Amino acid sequence: MLLHFHNLTKRYGAQTVLDGITAGLDFPHVLVLLGPSGGGKSTLLRVIGGLETPDAGTLTLDGEPVPSEAKPLRSYRAGIGTVFQSWNLFPHLDALANIMLPLTAVHGLSPAEARTRSMELLERLHLADHAAKRPAELSGGQRQRVAIARAVAIRPRLLLFDEPTSALDPEMTAEVLDVIADLKEEGRTFILVTHAMNFARVVADQVAFLAGGRLIEYGGAQEFFSNPKTDTARRFLDRVLRY
């Protein structure tokens, strides 16, 4: 997949969060966005997903500009599966209904088709016994796996993961990371924002390192972790990998 940014800029009031990024990011399956907190990773992910509109510049995905007008933007978003750190499940719906809803409401599947596809994913993610439970009845790891199932169910061209384990304890984190690793093995294409450095090293094909709203470094994962090119990236890795 090829992402191309030209002077991509995003501001919130007086704060510039993405500062004129120009780059081409070409990755076979998995791109991991790394960098210090506040560096622009989550904002960039939301711009890629069509959830935020840049204040300046352009973004193309495999040569297709990310639209800004409402109707084509809805169509673009329908092909992107996004998983947030806070699950964003509907609390009044059970796990099965949470997965089915975008399939029927956005993608036009019949209830029977949506149910079949959703139950297949719940089986794969070892959640079939929890299909009738609402989010409050699930553990954090189970909720996040339901959120992943919902994102995968729409058969997206691209999956986006924004710190999917940041609210989980170590055991639940392992559950979710196992699912994401399986998605890579299936050949899924996704972009991941994470602070789980060891997992990033294993799962990433390419790494983009952001700091201060700028793309500081980009390259192969193994090369980045073993021999970062910039002092900023080197200092960051020294801090986060110290313990």
H/E run at residue 6: strand 2-12
Backbone angles phi, psi at 60, to 5 degrees: -125, 145
pLDDT in the model for residue 12: 94
pLDDT in the model for residue 110: 97
- Asked if 208 contacts 233 with a C-beta cutoff of 8 angstroms, the reply is no
pLDDT in the model for residue 87: 79
Q: What is the pLDDT along the chain (243 residues), one digit of tens a residue?
A: 999 999 999 999 999 999 999 999 999 999 999 999 999 999 999 999 999 999 999 999 999 999 988 899 999 999 999 998 887 899 999 999 999 999 999 999 999 999 999 999 999 999 999 999 999 999 999 999 999 999 999 999 999 999 999 888 888 899 999 999 999 999 999 999 998 999 999 999 999 999 999 999 999 999 999 999 999 999 999 999 987
Read out DSSP for 76-118? Answer: HHTTEEEE-TT----TTS-HHHHHHHHHHHTS---HHHHHHHH
| Alpha-carbon gap, residue 87 to 230, rounded angstroms | 34
